[in-house]
Amino acid sequence: MNNSLFRATLHALVTAIIASLLTNAAYADPAQPRDALLHGAPDPTGVAVDTADATAYYVAATGRGVQLLRSDDLKHWELAGNVFKEPVPDWAGEEIPGTHGIWAPDLSYHDGLYYLYYSVSTFGSQRSVIGLAVNKSLDPNSKDYRWEDRGKVIESMPAKDDFNAIDPAMFVDEDGRWLLFWGSHWGGLKAVEVDSATGKPKPDAKIVAVAGRPDTKSHAIEAPFVIYHQGYYYLFASWDGCCDGADSTYKVVVGRSRDALGPYVDVIGQPMLEGGGTIVLENSERWRGPGHNGVITTAGGQWMVHHTYDMQHLDAQRILQVRPMTWTKEGWPQVGEPLATP
């Protein structure tokens, strides 16, 4: 077999496997509760929604059409539908041929709307797009529930861009700037100021580099997520190999800055643009490849949501895990044990 045919065959095999995993995750029986979080939910981010009676939690995760999960206690989850009826929006499927599902959605709430940024790509490719959908409600039974797709926000082109347009995360800083972060491998993590009216980059807005791993051959950094805490902005990122089951080396790192656009430094002062990052969560005997995190903040506390492999249930693929997050006296985040264990 010649090299070109071998590469094409290998790519087709990997794509088929990923498509199968996405299908299984997204179309699990919605009538079955997700006790112990034992179902595939890669790349999660979430929000807390207060009602008159209680607080509900929603998580968006990688899958065909973007899967939404709902919980009343952060321990037991059920499927709450999909953002799109089709695997990917038509426009994204046309721009990214061969894609099978939506990756790494970012769910947040601002000014009366839920913003869901999402990425569409194929495995190992730099030809990627980030899109945006908005909704007034996350409750499918609400009269206000209707997802509006606003289309393309950012794209990346091989030989043109030094970034990969996946893993979006939107954040509004203390000065009211709307900032979109993204990036995976290549030139690292980027950010740009967006228009609050459209959710898309402002005209002539400058793309800013915020973190990278120039000191490594793989440049394996992705999944930015930013929060604010007591005078500092904290940039979370994930390093190394995300998707190799028991052999995964994924981990969560963090740095902080007085400005949301950086420069971010870790606990010893090493800039994240130069490969710095303080490890927050990494492999243990049971949990492998924890990473691609979001943070849910409420009046009652903060929780890190992320995916991980369970060594006792590897067949479940990357499961959703929720951990309490607290702060050291020096002002650095730390996470506790999982709220639910299969």
The residues annotated as belonging to the active site are: 43, 222
Q: Shortest CA distance to 339 belongs to which of 315, 317, 306?
A: 306
Take residue 98 and report the two structure tokens written for it. Answer: 């061969």
> CB neighbours of 215 closer than 8 A, spacing ≥ 6?
274, 275
Residue 111 in 3-state DSSP?
A: coil
Q: Count Cβ neighbours within 10 Å for each residue of 84-96 and write b for 16 or more, e otherwise.
A: beebbbeebeebb
Distance (Å, whole) CA 241 – CA 309: 12
Please give the C-alpha separations between residue 257 and each of 18, 174, 183, 226, 317, in angstroms, as whole numbers.
36, 13, 19, 10, 35
Tell me how long the chain is.
342
Task: Assess contact for 258 and 240: CB atoms under 8 A.
Answer: no
Task: Assess contact for 304 and 74: CB atoms under 8 A.
Answer: no
Q: Which residue type, as a one-letter code, is found at position 180? A: L
